[in-house]
Protein backbone atom coordinates (compact mmCIF):
# COMPACT_ATOMS: atom_id res chain seq x y z
CA UNK A 1 0.00 0.00 0.00
CA UNK A 2 1.70 3.20 -1.17
CA UNK A 3 0.05 5.35 1.49
CA UNK A 4 1.65 8.09 3.57
CA UNK A 5 0.60 8.05 7.21
CA UNK A 6 0.81 10.18 10.32
CA UNK A 7 0.93 8.36 13.66
CA UNK A 8 -0.22 10.25 16.76
CA UNK A 9 1.31 8.61 19.81
CA UNK A 10 4.45 6.55 20.21
CA UNK A 11 3.72 4.30 23.14
CA UNK A 12 3.09 0.55 22.94
CA UNK A 13 0.42 0.85 20.25
CA UNK A 14 2.10 3.67 18.34
CA UNK A 15 5.35 1.70 18.09
CA UNK A 16 3.46 -1.40 16.95
CA UNK A 17 1.68 0.73 14.33
CA UNK A 18 5.02 1.89 12.95
CA UNK A 19 6.36 -1.68 12.91
CA UNK A 20 3.23 -3.01 11.18
CA UNK A 21 3.24 -0.11 8.71
CA UNK A 22 6.76 -0.98 7.64
CA UNK A 23 5.80 -4.64 7.34
CA UNK A 24 2.88 -4.00 4.96
CA UNK A 25 4.48 -1.18 2.99
CA UNK A 26 2.88 1.92 4.50
CA UNK A 27 5.02 5.05 4.61
CA UNK A 28 5.17 6.60 8.09
CA UNK A 29 5.77 10.24 7.20
CA UNK A 30 5.39 11.73 10.67
CA UNK A 31 5.04 10.72 14.30
CA UNK A 32 3.46 13.10 16.80
CA UNK A 33 4.68 12.71 20.38
CA UNK A 34 3.88 14.81 23.43
CA UNK A 35 7.08 16.81 22.93
CA UNK A 36 6.96 17.42 19.18
CA UNK A 37 6.62 16.19 15.60
CA UNK A 38 9.14 13.66 14.31
CA UNK A 39 10.16 11.81 11.20
CA UNK A 40 11.57 8.29 11.38
CA UNK A 41 14.26 6.76 9.18
CA UNK A 42 14.67 3.17 7.99
CA UNK A 43 16.68 2.35 11.09
CA UNK A 44 13.96 3.56 13.44
CA UNK A 45 15.78 6.74 14.45
CA UNK A 46 13.49 9.69 15.21
CA UNK A 47 14.32 13.26 14.16
CA UNK A 48 12.37 16.21 15.55
CA UNK A 49 11.03 18.44 12.79
CA UNK A 50 8.28 20.44 14.47
CA UNK A 51 6.39 21.40 17.60
CA UNK A 52 3.20 19.99 19.12
CA UNK A 53 0.97 21.58 21.76
CA UNK A 54 -1.45 19.43 23.77
CA UNK A 55 -3.15 22.63 24.92
CA UNK A 56 -4.73 23.42 21.56
CA UNK A 57 -3.78 20.43 19.40
CA UNK A 58 -1.62 22.57 17.11
CA UNK A 59 1.55 21.30 15.52
CA UNK A 60 4.13 22.44 12.99
CA UNK A 61 6.51 20.79 10.57
CA UNK A 62 3.91 18.63 8.81
CA UNK A 63 3.40 18.72 5.04
CA UNK A 64 -0.28 17.76 4.92
CA UNK A 65 -0.24 17.37 1.14
CA UNK A 66 1.74 14.18 1.73
CA UNK A 67 -0.63 12.60 4.29
CA UNK A 68 -3.17 9.98 3.19
CA UNK A 69 -4.43 8.89 6.62
CA UNK A 70 -3.83 9.56 10.30
CA UNK A 71 -3.76 7.10 13.21
CA UNK A 72 -4.64 8.31 16.72
CA UNK A 73 -3.03 6.06 19.32
CA UNK A 74 -2.34 8.38 22.23
CA UNK A 75 -3.26 7.29 25.78
CA UNK A 76 -6.79 8.10 26.94
CA UNK A 77 -6.85 11.71 28.12
CA UNK A 78 -8.92 13.54 30.71
CA UNK A 79 -12.35 14.12 29.16
CA UNK A 80 -10.86 13.18 25.77
CA UNK A 81 -9.62 16.74 25.21
CA UNK A 82 -6.14 15.96 23.86
CA UNK A 83 -7.37 13.45 21.28
CA UNK A 84 -10.33 15.65 20.34
CA UNK A 85 -8.07 18.61 19.59
CA UNK A 86 -5.86 16.38 17.46
CA UNK A 87 -8.88 14.98 15.64
CA UNK A 88 -10.30 18.44 14.96
CA UNK A 89 -6.95 19.70 13.63
CA UNK A 90 -6.57 16.72 11.30
CA UNK A 91 -10.17 16.54 10.06
CA UNK A 92 -9.98 20.25 9.20
CA UNK A 93 -7.14 19.24 6.88
CA UNK A 94 -9.43 16.56 5.38
CA UNK A 95 -7.25 13.74 6.71
CA UNK A 96 -9.19 10.44 7.17
CA UNK A 97 -8.58 9.04 10.66
CA UNK A 98 -8.39 5.67 12.42
CA UNK A 99 -8.36 5.66 16.22
CA UNK A 100 -8.13 3.25 19.15
CA UNK A 101 -8.37 6.05 21.75
CA UNK A 102 -11.57 5.55 23.74
CA UNK A 103 -12.11 8.89 25.47
CA UNK A 104 -12.36 10.65 22.09
CA UNK A 105 -15.65 8.83 21.46
CA UNK A 106 -16.96 8.30 24.98
CA UNK A 107 -16.99 12.07 25.58
CA UNK A 108 -17.59 13.21 21.98
CA UNK A 109 -19.82 10.58 20.31
CA UNK A 110 -20.35 12.61 17.14
CA UNK A 111 -16.81 11.48 16.21
CA UNK A 112 -18.15 7.95 15.75
CA UNK A 113 -19.61 9.03 12.42
CA UNK A 114 -16.35 10.67 11.30
CA UNK A 115 -13.52 8.43 12.49
CA UNK A 116 -12.92 4.67 12.09
CA UNK A 117 -12.97 3.28 15.63
CA UNK A 118 -13.41 -0.51 15.66
CA UNK A 119 -10.31 -0.98 17.84
CA UNK A 120 -11.62 1.20 20.69
CA UNK A 121 -13.59 -1.69 22.21
CA UNK A 122 -12.13 -5.16 22.33
CA UNK A 123 -8.95 -4.32 20.44
CA UNK A 124 -8.44 -7.25 18.10
CA UNK A 125 -11.75 -9.02 18.80
CA UNK A 126 -13.87 -6.64 16.67
CA UNK A 127 -16.69 -6.95 19.18
CA UNK A 128 -18.43 -3.73 18.06
CA UNK A 129 -19.24 -4.96 14.54
CA UNK A 130 -20.11 -8.39 15.94
CA UNK A 131 -22.79 -6.96 18.24
CA UNK A 132 -24.24 -4.76 15.50
CA UNK A 133 -24.29 -7.57 12.93
CA UNK A 134 -25.88 -10.12 15.28
CA UNK A 135 -28.65 -8.06 16.84
CA UNK A 136 -31.86 -9.36 15.23
CA UNK A 137 -34.41 -7.00 13.75
CA UNK A 138 -36.44 -5.43 16.53
CA UNK A 139 -33.86 -6.31 19.19
CA UNK A 140 -33.47 -2.72 20.41
CA UNK A 141 -37.17 -2.46 21.28
CA UNK A 142 -37.85 -5.99 22.58
CA UNK A 143 -38.69 -5.75 26.28
CA UNK A 144 -36.71 -8.90 27.17
CA UNK A 145 -33.59 -8.18 25.09
CA UNK A 146 -30.31 -8.85 26.93
CA UNK A 147 -26.63 -8.79 26.01
CA UNK A 148 -23.93 -9.91 28.44
CA UNK A 149 -20.40 -8.91 27.46
CA UNK A 150 -16.78 -9.15 28.47
CA UNK A 151 -15.46 -5.80 27.22
CA UNK A 152 -12.18 -5.60 29.12
CA UNK A 153 -9.77 -8.30 28.00
CA UNK A 154 -7.12 -7.23 30.50
CA UNK A 155 -9.44 -7.82 33.45
CA UNK A 156 -10.47 -11.12 31.91
CA UNK A 157 -6.81 -12.12 31.61
CA UNK A 158 -6.25 -11.35 35.29
CA UNK A 159 -9.41 -13.10 36.48
CA UNK A 160 -8.92 -16.26 34.40
CA UNK A 161 -5.22 -16.70 35.13
CA UNK A 162 -4.12 -19.66 37.25
CA UNK A 163 -1.46 -17.48 38.85
CA UNK A 164 -2.05 -15.21 41.82
CA UNK A 165 -3.75 -11.93 40.97
CA UNK A 166 -0.54 -10.03 41.73
CA UNK A 167 1.43 -12.29 39.38
CA UNK A 168 -1.30 -12.02 36.73
CA UNK A 169 -1.12 -8.22 36.83
CA UNK A 170 2.67 -8.31 36.50
CA UNK A 171 2.31 -10.63 33.51
CA UNK A 172 -0.36 -8.40 31.95
CA UNK A 173 2.04 -5.46 32.20
CA UNK A 174 4.93 -7.46 30.69
CA UNK A 175 2.69 -8.54 27.79
CA UNK A 176 1.57 -4.89 27.33
CA UNK A 177 -2.07 -5.66 28.11
CA UNK A 178 -1.93 -3.11 30.94
CA UNK A 179 0.14 -0.06 31.76
CA UNK A 180 2.64 -0.23 34.65
CA UNK A 181 1.12 1.10 37.88
CA UNK A 182 2.93 2.24 41.01
CA UNK A 183 -0.17 1.29 42.99
CA UNK A 184 0.02 -2.40 42.15
CA UNK A 185 -2.95 -4.76 41.95
CA UNK A 186 -5.66 -2.54 43.43
CA UNK A 187 -4.77 0.49 41.30
CA UNK A 188 -4.58 -1.61 38.13
CA UNK A 189 -7.98 -3.22 38.68
CA UNK A 190 -9.65 0.11 39.44
CA UNK A 191 -8.00 1.76 36.43
CA UNK A 192 -9.24 -1.01 34.14
CA UNK A 193 -12.75 -0.63 35.61
CA UNK A 194 -12.63 3.07 34.69
CA UNK A 195 -11.45 2.10 31.21
CA UNK A 196 -14.41 -0.28 30.87
CA UNK A 197 -16.83 2.59 31.50
CA UNK A 198 -15.46 4.40 28.42
CA UNK A 199 -15.84 1.23 26.35
CA UNK A 200 -19.40 0.80 27.62
CA UNK A 201 -20.33 4.34 26.57
CA UNK A 202 -19.00 3.62 23.08
CA UNK A 203 -21.02 0.39 22.85
CA UNK A 204 -24.16 2.27 23.91
CA UNK A 205 -23.69 4.98 21.29
CA UNK A 206 -22.49 2.73 18.50
CA UNK A 207 -24.93 -0.16 18.97
CA UNK A 208 -28.01 1.10 20.83
CA UNK A 209 -28.23 4.88 20.46
CA UNK A 210 -26.96 5.19 16.90
CA UNK A 211 -29.78 7.44 15.74
CA UNK A 212 -28.97 9.86 18.56
CA UNK A 213 -25.21 10.06 18.18
CA UNK A 214 -25.14 13.24 16.11
CA UNK A 215 -28.03 15.24 17.55
CA UNK A 216 -27.19 14.31 21.16
CA UNK A 217 -30.79 13.71 22.22
CA UNK A 218 -29.30 11.16 24.59
CA UNK A 219 -25.94 12.04 26.08
CA UNK A 220 -23.87 9.86 28.37
CA UNK A 221 -21.43 11.77 30.55
CA UNK A 222 -18.81 9.34 31.85
CA UNK A 223 -17.96 11.82 34.61
CA UNK A 224 -21.52 11.59 35.93
CA UNK A 225 -21.43 7.78 36.22
CA UNK A 226 -19.83 6.67 39.47
CA UNK A 227 -17.58 3.63 39.29
CA UNK A 228 -17.57 1.76 42.59
CA UNK A 229 -13.88 1.01 42.98
CA UNK A 230 -12.45 -1.88 44.90
CA UNK A 231 -10.97 -1.34 48.35
CA UNK A 232 -8.93 -3.76 50.43
CA UNK A 233 -12.08 -5.41 51.82
CA UNK A 234 -13.84 -5.96 48.49
CA UNK A 235 -10.55 -7.04 46.90
CA UNK A 236 -10.13 -9.69 49.60
CA UNK A 237 -13.68 -10.94 48.94
CA UNK A 238 -12.94 -11.12 45.20
CA UNK A 239 -9.69 -12.99 45.77
CA UNK A 240 -11.44 -15.52 48.00
CA UNK A 241 -13.80 -16.63 45.21
CA UNK A 242 -11.97 -15.40 42.14
CA UNK A 243 -12.63 -18.55 40.11
CA UNK A 244 -16.38 -17.79 40.20
CA UNK A 245 -16.18 -14.23 38.89
CA UNK A 246 -15.62 -12.31 35.65
CA UNK A 247 -15.92 -8.59 34.96
CA UNK A 248 -19.14 -8.48 32.93
CA UNK A 249 -21.10 -5.61 31.39
CA UNK A 250 -24.80 -6.32 30.78
CA UNK A 251 -27.26 -4.39 28.61
CA UNK A 252 -30.94 -5.14 29.15
CA UNK A 253 -34.42 -3.70 28.66
CA UNK A 254 -35.39 -4.29 32.28
CA UNK A 255 -33.55 -4.61 35.60
CA UNK A 256 -31.84 -7.97 35.99
CA UNK A 257 -32.04 -8.16 39.78
CA UNK A 258 -28.40 -9.18 40.03
CA UNK A 259 -26.75 -10.22 43.27
CA UNK A 260 -23.18 -11.05 44.28
CA UNK A 261 -21.75 -8.17 42.20
CA UNK A 262 -18.45 -6.69 43.40
CA UNK A 263 -17.58 -3.15 42.29
CA UNK A 264 -18.52 -1.67 38.93
CA UNK A 265 -21.20 0.78 37.82
CA UNK A 266 -24.77 1.01 36.58
CA UNK A 267 -26.97 3.51 34.76
CA UNK A 268 -30.20 3.76 32.76
CA UNK A 269 -30.54 5.59 29.44
CA UNK A 270 -33.33 5.58 26.87
CA UNK A 271 -34.91 2.46 28.37
CA UNK A 272 -31.64 0.50 28.56
CA UNK A 273 -30.43 -0.80 31.92
CA UNK A 274 -26.65 -1.12 31.98
CA UNK A 275 -24.78 -2.85 34.80
CA UNK A 276 -21.12 -3.75 35.17
CA UNK A 277 -19.03 -5.38 37.85
CA UNK A 278 -17.29 -8.54 38.93
CA UNK A 279 -20.27 -10.86 38.57
CA UNK A 280 -20.59 -14.41 39.80
CA UNK A 281 -21.27 -16.74 36.87
CA UNK A 282 -21.43 -20.18 38.48
CA UNK A 283 -24.98 -19.67 39.77
CA UNK A 284 -26.34 -17.90 36.67
CA UNK A 285 -27.30 -19.95 33.60
CA UNK A 286 -27.00 -16.92 31.33
CA UNK A 287 -23.46 -16.13 32.42
CA UNK A 288 -22.12 -19.66 32.83
CA UNK A 289 -20.51 -19.92 29.40
CA UNK A 290 -18.42 -16.80 30.07
CA UNK A 291 -16.21 -18.92 32.36
CA UNK A 292 -14.73 -20.39 29.16
CA UNK A 293 -13.53 -16.97 27.97
CA UNK A 294 -9.94 -17.20 29.13
CA UNK A 295 -6.86 -15.06 28.69
CA UNK A 296 -7.08 -11.63 27.03
CA UNK A 297 -10.45 -12.43 25.44
CA UNK A 298 -13.68 -10.59 24.81
CA UNK A 299 -17.18 -12.02 24.52
CA UNK A 300 -20.78 -11.14 23.72
CA UNK A 301 -23.80 -13.28 24.55
CA UNK A 302 -26.91 -12.01 22.75
CA UNK A 303 -30.37 -13.11 23.88
CA UNK A 304 -32.95 -11.48 21.57
CA UNK A 305 -35.88 -12.41 23.80
CA UNK A 306 -34.03 -12.99 27.03
CA UNK A 307 -34.19 -16.75 26.50
CA UNK A 308 -31.82 -19.39 27.76
CA UNK A 309 -28.66 -20.03 25.68
CA UNK A 310 -29.35 -22.56 22.94
CA UNK A 311 -32.84 -21.17 22.48
CA UNK A 312 -32.14 -17.50 22.23
CA UNK A 313 -28.42 -17.55 21.06
CA UNK A 314 -26.25 -16.60 19.29
CA UNK A 315 -23.04 -16.18 21.24
CA UNK A 316 -19.53 -15.05 20.44
CA UNK A 317 -16.22 -15.50 22.17
CA UNK A 318 -13.17 -14.01 20.54
CA UNK A 319 -9.56 -13.98 21.69
CA UNK A 320 -7.26 -12.18 21.91
CA UNK A 321 -8.61 -8.69 22.35
CA UNK A 322 -5.95 -6.89 24.40
CA UNK A 323 -2.42 -5.97 23.42
CA UNK A 324 -0.73 -3.80 20.77
CA UNK A 325 -0.63 -6.54 18.10
CA UNK A 326 -4.37 -7.36 17.99
CA UNK A 327 -5.32 -3.69 18.37
CA UNK A 328 -3.12 -2.60 15.49
CA UNK A 329 -4.41 -5.41 13.25
CA UNK A 330 -7.92 -4.08 13.77
CA UNK A 331 -6.77 -0.52 13.01
CA UNK A 332 -5.22 -1.75 9.76
CA UNK A 333 -8.50 -3.51 8.94
CA UNK A 334 -10.24 -0.15 9.46
CA UNK A 335 -7.74 1.43 7.07
CA UNK A 336 -8.49 -1.22 4.45
CA UNK A 337 -12.20 -0.47 4.88
CA UNK A 338 -11.53 3.24 4.30
CA UNK A 339 -9.69 2.33 1.11
CA UNK A 340 -12.58 0.09 -0.02
CA UNK A 341 -14.99 2.97 0.62
CA UNK A 342 -12.71 5.26 -1.43
CA UNK A 343 -12.24 7.61 1.52
CA UNK A 344 -8.45 7.57 1.07
CA UNK A 345 -7.78 10.06 -1.72
CA UNK A 346 -4.06 10.89 -1.38
CA UNK A 347 -1.51 8.32 -2.52
Summarize pLDDT for 288-345 with one digit per residue, the tens: 888 888 889 898 888 876 555 444 444 565 656 788 899 999 999 999 999 988 877 6
Is the pLDDT at 17 greater than 70? The verdict is yes
Residue 15 has pLDDT above 60, yes or no: yes
The pLDDT of residue 308 is 52
Strand partners, 85: none
Residue 140 confidence (pLDDT) above 80? no
Q: What is the mean pLDDT of residues 76-82?
A: 80
Helix (H) or strand (E) holding 60: none
Q: Where are the beta strands (DSSP E) in the chain?
A: 4-8, 27-33, 36-40, 46-50, 69-72, 97-99, 146-150, 245-252, 261-269, 272-280, 298-303, 315-318
The pLDDT of residue 82: 86
Task: Identify the pLDDT of residue 313.
Answer: 46
How confident is the model at residue 240, as a pLDDT? 94
Summarised one tens digit per residue, pLDDT across range 173-217 is: 889 888 766 568 999 999 999 999 999 999 999 888 765 444 555
- Structure confidence at residue 322 (pLDDT): 82
Query: Domains in the chain, ordered, with CATH?
Result: 4-122+325-340 (3.40.50.720), 124-321 (3.30.360.10)
Question: What pLDDT was estimated at residue 312?
Answer: 42
Amino acid sequence: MNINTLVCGYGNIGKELVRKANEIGLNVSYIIKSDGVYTIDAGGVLSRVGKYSELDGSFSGVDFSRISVGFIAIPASANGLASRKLAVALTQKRIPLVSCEKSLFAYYPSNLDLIAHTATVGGGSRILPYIKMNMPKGFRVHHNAVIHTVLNATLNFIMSSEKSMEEAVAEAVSLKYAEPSAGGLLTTLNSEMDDTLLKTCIVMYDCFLTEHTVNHNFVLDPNAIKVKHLDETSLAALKAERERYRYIVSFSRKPLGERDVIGGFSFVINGWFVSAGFKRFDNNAYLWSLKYVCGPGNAALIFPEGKYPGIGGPNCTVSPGAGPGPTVRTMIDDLRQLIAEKRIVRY
